[in-house]
A and B are shown apart, each in its own frame.
Chain A
């Protein structure tokens, strides 16, 4: 199994007012396999989102490095990281983060525009919405949709430009159990159909068995579960 991302000795510290440093992450080493669902589990405050932000090129570690598809992404400037995210990464956020004044379709199409998608944008956006089962609600505004539906639009938006990896931060946290499971099902389908790599965080132990690989974080450190 190929690893698309390798994390080597990553630590993240935040300076405290008293002059000491709070280590949100310390010496994390991990691999993320390609075309699989990786789950980062931890309680709130454990550091899982911080870790995901670093892997997803949103944030820099204090120490250590991240190799993404053979390239070291740590230390890049904002501009380069932005470009990298734009083309190779899709994000799904915990709180639903659709652009409120765009319809479901436009939200998806916007991601295609942003990634400078060369193919037929209309067809691709429609296809992605179909994949998440929302073809009938394409022209609805976010505020006219339920939380689950919005989250599915967010997933469609994250995957449509065929990123290498989708990062999903607590995608099910604000959904009820059934809807949460439906989202997980979509993830699994995507992995099968599109061969995409998905990294998600969760605090829900019930979802852990759905992951191809699971890392558990506690107080900024990986806990060996095997």
Chain B
């Protein structure tokens, strides 16, 4: 059986190769999705923790368990709490299933009365302090003085302790001081005697998160050696109240996507459980962050899958079509086998084995390819645009292998299904079928194409109806609606298929118009185009979908990117916005004195490399309009001319060019531009006076000369994420006034510096470093855009849209070659006749080129039209899914000429390559061979 299959493979190299290609691509796309999703999620977890570390400056995955909150001096309650804490601390470690980096236990006796043996300069002879012990201390301290306390009593009966530097100063203690406890006893039942032997400080060279609290937090506590402390005070029945603090530092770098839910569950369980205890506490802050991650992760997961759906469908169709084509060619073999008594089962077995071999080969090659594709996706910056980035943390997990196996099984099923039909046909039935000729394809007979189109348009209609709901859902963290994206894919398929009903009519019309005059070559090619139209539909639909999908993907990616870039640019206000740290007189300020600032030099910014222009912008977000009881109004003080030259503003956002507003404002120093909601909510009109109060300054008034919906850096709403993870919206007001006027009223207050660059911001960085400028804030739009593009959803979207297109293009090339090679091979005899009848090779080629124009050219044209229509219909809806919750700008479809150019260049190269291969094949056909003219 195997030999039979190998023989078959040898005879149909092209088809087998295409089938293998389909399998490899299918399996690698599926696996790539699994790998990439996981890698993205992993990176999101890592950023979640590292952002936390950066923002809070505390260890990101820290659990604190502590007992002894209530002041029970001793007894059962305290004992219980102490042991509960200890137990939980041990349990948690196992339940989180994340390796611990460190487990720090700090036991403490909170009230220790000590008689001072030597009370230098003090009024009292007794002091009250705490006594404690911390695990693993020696490794993390440096001794400023003395030695580390011993775990044994000294020969003269003292227990050694040490103190922090702050304690030494605040308590006026020195190494060598001794104390006697008034209550605590040593092992022999005698009153405990303590001696200070050292002064410690944190070892700054070790940065492992050990110092959850800084050493100076222990300024009222003697630290004893840990084992001595345990021996003395910790027992199953403690006689004295001991508090215990556990600090569990988990190795957050080891948290994997699949751990997150468990971590949240465990945290929740303990948070709940500890609510009922008044004397013990369980505290962690990361599960809140991880919950946010979890909702983002769901979004990423769905988006990444949804985007690949059209590619999956096409791959499935491709494999099915190639398998069917192969079967068609083997039909007579099957029929002969059947007629000779082979059972249906045996025939299916042959194909099952063959398909399995193909799928296994696809699996073996597809999985490594998947890793490569992941890196391609990871480096995508826009559609068909790549940048070099840090490689993704990709990993070969069991999931990947399983996903590959599932894809392979799917592919085997797709390849074997057509056999079921063919294995029933005997040689007689096959001959009969052949003569009946080719009818319309099933999808035309049952109007599947019309149905697809109708469904997709219905989807569009219903989604358009709920555009606002869609936007609201997205603002609440919903992801790209799979049905929405699916309906865009259905539209492309449906419209493509429907147009296949129309194209033959066009070809027919062209043929009829010039029927009398066509040269023999054109005549034959037209007849062929018209009479074999159903057979061409396979390649035509692939061409249409490739081009349409390419355009659609390019537009979708470009729009999604552009809208976000515009949003960032708009909200920032200019290419670079920064605030310098101003010197002030606060240090020497007396009560009632006025706070004055020293204005730093501004011109230095203008001389920085690549800076085109700059302006001073005063912004006070806490301004008030008392007449309308408005707080938190954004007050902006500008120099109109420089502002116009520097700020970034999409000119189409306002009904007139925004320079006109600036000009209007510049006419008088008291003129104001205010946000439209002043008019809408309070009925202000142009010409009205507006009294407002700047934060630190007094009241000022101005005359309103214009209302605007948009202004650089102005967001009409502010958003706060509520506890349930949803965002709530608050309306914001804006007043734009002349900076000079504000300054004459309130004096010169720290303002922002807005800069426009020639596209490169490196000059600003260098300038700031060279001139040693201290900044309190700095925003570089270019940098924000880069960070945006590294976001899992954006990177994944750009990457998948690109990879998806490349895969479809590869399928298209393979399909194109299969179609044309088979078409030409099957026509070898015909070409022979033509040649014998005296047609030249040139004429035959002309005929073929005519076919290309009407089949390939038309398909690409239709693909282009379908792609443009699809993007105009669906991209406006799809982009909503990518919009940020604080999207102030209207979303618009963006396209760039460079995209289409790249797209058509790529497709053009692919098709040209195909034509070269075809030309080579045709030139190898010899007439005599084709006509079987030779006698052997």
Contacts and interface: CB of A to CB of B under 8 A. Distances in A.
A169 B829 contact: no
B528 A101 contact: yes
Interface in A10-28: none
Contact of B934 (A49, A95, A113): A49
Given A45-B935, A49-B934, A86 B928 contact: no
Contact of A113 (B520, B840, B932): B520
Nearest to B841: A78
Contacts of A83: 838
Contacts of B927: 58
B429 interface: no
Contacts of B520: 110, 113-114
B838 A86 contact: yes
Contacts of B726: none
A44 B934 CA distance: 10
Interface in A96-121: 97, 99-102, 106, 110-111, 113-115
B435 A86 contact: no
Contact of A143 (B437, B524, B934): B437
Contact of B935 (A49, A87, A144): A49
Contact of A110 (B523, B933, B934): B523
Contacts of A100: 830
Given A101-B527, A101-B528, A113-B520, A85 B935 contact: no
A71 B932 CA distance: 28
B524 A110 contact: yes
B278 interface: no
Interface in A49-68: 49-50, 53, 58-59
* Size band of the interface chain B makes with A: 20 to 34
B169 interface: no
A94 B523 CA distance: 25
B840 A79 contact: yes
A99 B934 contact: no
A97 B523 CA distance: 18
Given A58-B928, A87-B838, A114-B838, A44 B527 contact: no
Contacts of A48: 935
Interface string A187-210: 000000000000000000000000
B8 interface: no
A82 interface: yes
Nearest to B517: A113
A99 B836 contact: no
A99 B827 CA distance: 9
A110 B524 CA distance: 8
A82 B932 contact: no
B839 A97 contact: no
B762 interface: no
B528 A93 contact: no
B833 A50 contact: no
Nearest to A100: B830
Contact of A97 (B518, B931, B936): B931
Interface string B828-849: 0110110111111100000000
Given A102-B527, A106-B527, A58 B933 contact: yes
Contacts of B928: 53, 58-59
A85 B840 CA distance: 11
A25 to B, nearest CB: 11
A111 B931 contact: no
A99 B532 contact: no
Contacts of A111: 837
8 contacts: A44-B935, A84-B838, A85-B837, A93-B931, A94-B932, A111-B837, A113-B518, A143-B435
Given A47-B935, A99-B830, A102-B524, 15 more contacts: A45-B936, A46-B935, A49-B934, A53-B928, A82-B838, A83-B838, A85-B838, A86-B837, A89-B838, A93-B836, A95-B829, A97-B829, A101-B532, A106-B527, A114-B839
Interface of B: 435, 437, 518-520, 523-524, 527-528, 531-532, 829-830, 832-833, 835-841, 927-928, 931-936
